[in-house]
Amino acid sequence: MAAANLKWPPVLALLLVAPMVGIASAGNIAVYWGQNGNEGTLADACNSGNYAYVLISFLTTFGNGQTPVLNLAGHCNPSSGGCTGLSSDIQTCQSLGIKVLLSLGGAGGNYGLSSTDDANSVADYLWTNYLGGNTGSGPLGAAVLDGIDFDIENGQSAHYDDLANALKAKGSMLLTAAPQCPYPDASLGPALQTGQFDNVWIQFYNNPGCEYANGDDSNLVSAWSTWTSSVNIAGSFYLGLPASTAAAGSGYIQPSDLTGTVIPAIQGIGKYGGIMLWSRFYDVQNNYSGQVKCCV
């Protein structure tokens, strides 16, 4: 049957286009996985359909000549080769178009860089064990990750710029970072000025001075504006949030406030990309990503 030659009234045409615009501008969700054995498998996280990025957390020991240590809480024991089975989960995620990165640091751990040579050594280790130079004998088996995330929270900023430069010099990969919302970040300030980072998920929690609170988004919008105008990145900025009230001491935003107030306030400022959640465990408990993925 031939299609009728219909001309929509202007108002109706706008109503038809509006939902398409919303879909086109929808962002992505990044999530941290690996610090709670009760959060489900890595494949479970990816098969949920809620995430564009999964950050395996954390490499808690590295630098200063130390043997790097991967800590995945109750999931597996890398020292006995018990985490190599994650290789198939990683490949499952990647087959779904989800980017999988290794996150360095975290709130605990024993890490830091003592020199440019030390940074270069860590870059070599990451390349040959997790990235494009993987020989198959790394803690996660033969899987080749999509990149490295910098979640450096100990206030030591020295030589992370060297590490970022050294990693990018080795080949194609994503570099991301998770600074605290007060600008500049005490740990990642110099590194983020290298221009080597693709995405930056800013932690708008556990920092009351720049969070959304009691219906007031002014501090958050101000901090967001400062970040997006001060740091040059190749990709996008993400709003980092706790996935439940139990996930952080402060900074939780009700899903309706996020989609109705906060996201509209920042979407047009800088390179907005979506949201980051801490963490998969808390997201499973609260289904935060499921409640907001339509509108972020």
pLDDT attached to residue 9: 37
Q: What is the mean pLDDT of each run of 10 residues along the chain (296 residues)?
A: 33 34 56 98 98 98 97 95 97 98 96 98 98 94 97 97 98 97 98 98 98 97 98 97 98 98 97 98 98 96
pLDDT attached to residue 203: 98
**Domain 26-292 CATH class label:** alpha beta
pLDDT attached to residue 266: 98
Q: Which one of 153, 198, 211, 217 is the catalytic residue?
A: 153
pLDDT attached to residue 2: 32
The answer to whether residues 52 and 98 touch, using CB atoms and an 8 Å cutoff, is yes
Helix (H) or strand (E) holding 57: strand 53-62
The answer to whether residues 223 and 188 touch, using CB atoms and an 8 Å cutoff, is no
Active-site residue flag, 153: yes
The answer to whether residues 50 and 33 touch, using CB atoms and an 8 Å cutoff, is no
- Tell whether the torsion through CA atoms of 57, 255, 257 and 273 is positive or negative: positive
